[in-house]
């Protein structure tokens, strides 16, 4: 993360250079004031006044243009950071759900100039030196004021950081809870739970609002106090300058110049105060990005020959959150063989499917496709050789053809072939716009069975050599189940290695092998006929006992 930000250092160098130009040009204003009050007023030379005025005006216009260019440089820096970081953040989204929001917070802080004041901090020393040269007494007062303001801001930032972070975390947690509840809209509406859901949200939201009000009140109080302090300091510098003027040690122009320089001296501190919430949020986002996002560039993996479909699991084990999910599971499938996975709920069947496809990396053991560990395959290439129908079928908010083509450029021939192979071509043609039918954000414009069958076609896209289906019959009626059986027969004919998680006997009998899982371990494994006979023999004594 730090290296990626360092790669854009030239943008910040450019912004810093233009900052030098801006601050140098700004000095033209106090110099103008000194010349006008100390010379022009006494000489009554209007020509000199007009010339100086025109020169200052041109200087300020140039300063405005340079400031615009500096802002554009920071915009480019923020956008470039997003472009570089975005692929890595997207990869981390399953674990780090707020990654894109945090990246946008950081971009806004950079591009919006929320951290711009940092580039002006070194100039505070330059202005303090100038004020000291005007008069040591004025320089001493300015230094003391900056020291007090700086310490106050540092303490304020420490105290305020905790308040903002707590309020932000509480708000996000409450919003996530509400969205999760409302995602089950039919259940909430059908059982009259809407009022209860909203009441729960409001109760927590009241606590969130109290945290935010407390943080806002503290911020407002400190802002008011420091603004008052800044005004007092400016008045004090002016008054001190007048007193020193009476002693004949400085001129009237120097008094007014001191006030203008003092205002510029306090500018970075004012920016720090007014942008404190944004900078705190940006730094918190940076810390989260650094913690959750792995930006180490992976070496390109060697492309392997297209697989034939031989699949092996060798004593694999899987643990999640310190709990063992799968333990010592082994089996082997030759190209074109089919495996039925059977077992009670929470036995680890879905986790096994995810391990087969590399979605969940194993703690121990090997998972191989055509002899190569699946981690050795380039991810996109491996995905093109496999098909997956998850237990919870999800379609993307694009049209049917794009869903089947896995969001790649639509190849009409391949899309139709996959739909025909899955037996859903005729069903898709009956949709309102056929293959161009758009899936809405919830996917609810299609029935559960239609979504599952379209997902089946997506799994078959590109003629994969290895297909995994997790309870593909869940939402299917008799007609849909018949389509599924026909699709499985096509896979068999095409010698596609297939794994199906199911509890349907009429699917299991068509398998070459059956794997029974219980408590994350292999309870039975072997040819389908032998395993089914064992299951029947076990059930018969139990039935007799009843």
- What residue spans define the domains of the chain? 1-115+282-298, 121-274, 311-545
Q: Measured between alpha carbons, how far is 501 from 514 in angstroms, rounded to an integer?
A: 10
What are the counts of helices (DSSP H) followed by strands (DSSP E) for the chain?
21, 10
Dmax of the chain from CA atoms? Answer: 122
Q: Choose the weakest-confidence range: 106-120, 208-222, 323-337, 515-529.
A: 106-120
Distance of CA 196 to the CA centre of its chain: 31
Class for domain 311-545, per CATH? Answer: alpha beta
The residue with tokens 């082994």 is: 330
Cβ atoms < 10 Å from Cβ of 108: 16
Does residue 364 surpass a pLDDT of 80? yes
What's the rounded Cα separation, in Å, for the pair 201 and 271? Answer: 36
Question: Dihedral sign, CA of 132, 138, 140, 145?
Answer: negative
Could you give the percent of the chain with pLDDT greater than 70?
A: 90
Select the more confidently predicted residue: 270 or 498. 498
Residue with tokens 């593909």: 472
Closest by Cα among 280, 270, 43, 71 to 165: 280
**Residue 540: band (very low, low, confident or very high) from pLDDT cuts 50, 70, 90:** low
Residue ranges in 183-251 assigned as alpha helix (H): 185-190, 194-246
Q: Per residue in 79-89, pLDDT tens?
A: 887 788 877 77
Q: pLDDT digits over 31-77, tens only?
A: 888 888 888 887 878 888 888 889 889 998 998 898 888 888 888 88
336: left (phi over 0), alpha (psi -120 to 50) or beta: left
Look at 225-229, 369-373, 387-391 and tell me which has the smallest mean pLDDT: 225-229
Tell me whether domains 121-274 and 311-545 share a fold.
Answer: no
Give the model's pLDDT for residue 300: 64
Q: Summarize the confidence of residues 504-520 as an average pLDDT.
A: 87
Residue 396 backbone class (left: φ over 0; alpha: ψ -120 to 50; beta: rest)? beta
pLDDT of residue 292: 75
Residues 330 and 522: beta-carbon distance below 8 Å: yes
CATH 3.40.50.300 assigned to domain 121-274? The reply is no
- Alpha helices, DSSP H only, in 275-313? 276-292
| Per-residue pLDDT, 544 | 47
From the list 427, 132, 395, 95, the residue with the least C-alpha distance to 261 is 132
* Average pLDDT value for residue range 91-105: 73
Q: Which of 147-161, 358-372, 379-393 has the least mean pLDDT?
A: 147-161
Cβ–Cβ < 8 Å for 516, 342: yes
**Section 416-439 average pLDDT:** 91
Average pLDDT, the chain: 83
Average pLDDT on 3-15 reads: 69
Question: Is residue 118 classed exposed, middle or buried when 0-12, 13-18 and 19+ CB atoms within 10 A define those classes?
Answer: middle
**What letter would DSSP give residue 370?**
T
Rounded mean pLDDT of 407-413?
Answer: 89
What does the pLDDT average to over 533-546?
A: 65
Q: Quote the Cα angle for 297-300-306, to 5°.
A: 145
* Exposure string for 501-536, b = 16+ CB within 10 A, e = fewer: bbebeebbebbbbbbbbeebbbbbbeebeebbeebe
Cα-Cα end-to-end distance for the chain: 65
* Cα separation values, 44 from 24, 40, 49, 211, 253, Å: 28, 6, 9, 61, 15
The pLDDT, as a whole number, for residue 209 is 81
The mean-pLDDT minimum among 188-192, 207-211, 232-236, 430-434 falls in 188-192
CB of 11 within 8 A of CB of 81? Answer: no
Cβ-based burial of 366 (10 A; exposed 0-12, middle 13-18, buried ≥19): middle
In this prediction, residue 332 carries a pLDDT of: 93
Is the pLDDT score of 297 beyond 60? no
The answer, yes or no, to whether residue 516 has pLDDT greater than 80, is yes
């Amino acid at each position: 993360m730090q290296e990626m930000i360092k790669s854009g250092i030239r943008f910040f160098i450019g912004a810093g250079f233009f900052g030098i130009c801006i601050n140098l040009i700004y000095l033209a204003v106090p110099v103008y004031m000194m010349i006008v009050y100390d010379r022009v007023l006494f000489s009554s030379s209007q020509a000199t006044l007009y010339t100086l005025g025109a020169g200052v005006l041109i200087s300020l216009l140039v300063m405005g243009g340079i400031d615009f260019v500096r802002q554009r440089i920071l915009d480019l820096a923020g956008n470039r950071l997003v472009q570089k970081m975005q692929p890595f953040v997207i990869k981390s989204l399953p674990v780090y759900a707020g990654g894109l929001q945090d990246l946008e917070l950081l971009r806004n802080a950079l591009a919006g100039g929320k951290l711009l004041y940092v580039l002006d901090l070194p100039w505070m020393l330059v202005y303090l030196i100038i004020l000291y040269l005007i008069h040591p007494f004025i320089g001493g007062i300015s230094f003391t004021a900056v020291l007090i303001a700086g310490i106050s801001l540092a303490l304020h930032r420490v105290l305020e950081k905790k308040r903002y972070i707590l309020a932000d975390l509480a708000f996000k947690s409450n919003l996530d809870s509400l969205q999760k509840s409302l995602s089950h809209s039919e259940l909430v509406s059908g059982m009259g739970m809407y009022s209860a859901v909203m009441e729960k949200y409001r109760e927590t939201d009241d606590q969130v609002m109290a945290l935010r009000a407390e943080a806002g009140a503290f911020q407002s109080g400190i802002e008011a106090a420091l603004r008052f302090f800044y005004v007092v300091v400016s008045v004090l510098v002016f008054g001190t300058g007048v007193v020193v003027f009476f002693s004949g040690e400085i001129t009237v122009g120097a008094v007014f110049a001191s006030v203008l320089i003092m205002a510029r001296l306090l500018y970075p501190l004012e920016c720090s105060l007014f942008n404190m919430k944004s900078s705190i949020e940006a730094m918190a986002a940076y810390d989260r990005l650094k913690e959750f996002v792995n930006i180490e560039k992976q070496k390109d993996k060697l492309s392997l020959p297209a697989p034939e479909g031989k699949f092996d699991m060798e004593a694999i084990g899987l643990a999640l959150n310190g709990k063992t999910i799968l333990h010592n599971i082994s089996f082997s499938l030759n190209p074109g063989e089919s495996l039925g996975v059977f077992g009670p709920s929470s036995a680890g069947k879905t986790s096994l499917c995810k391990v087969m496809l590399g979605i969940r990396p194993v703690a121990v053991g090997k998972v191989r496709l055509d002899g190569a560990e699946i981690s050795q395959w380039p991810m996109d290439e491996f995905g093109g050789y496999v098909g997956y129908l998850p237990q919870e079928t999800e379609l993307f908010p694009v049209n049917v053809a794009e869903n089947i083509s896995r969001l790649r450029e639509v190849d009409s021939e391949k899309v139709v072939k996959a739909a025909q192979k899955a037996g859903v071509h005729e069903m898709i043609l009956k949709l309102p716009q056929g293959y161009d039918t758009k899936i809405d954000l919830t996917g609810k414009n299609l029935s559960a069975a239609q979504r599952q069958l379209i997902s089946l076609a997506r799994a078959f896209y590109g003629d994969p050599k290895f297909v995994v289906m997790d309870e593909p019959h869940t939402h299917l009626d008799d007609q849909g189940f018949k389509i599924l059986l026909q699709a499985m027969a096509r896979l068999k004919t095409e010698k596609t290695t297939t794994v199906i998680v199911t509890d349907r006997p009429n699917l299991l009998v068509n398998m070459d092998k059956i794997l029974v899982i219980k408590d994350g371990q292999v309870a039975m494994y072997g040819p389908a006929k032998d395993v089914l006979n064992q299951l029947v023999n076990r059930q018969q004594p139990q039935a007799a006992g009843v």
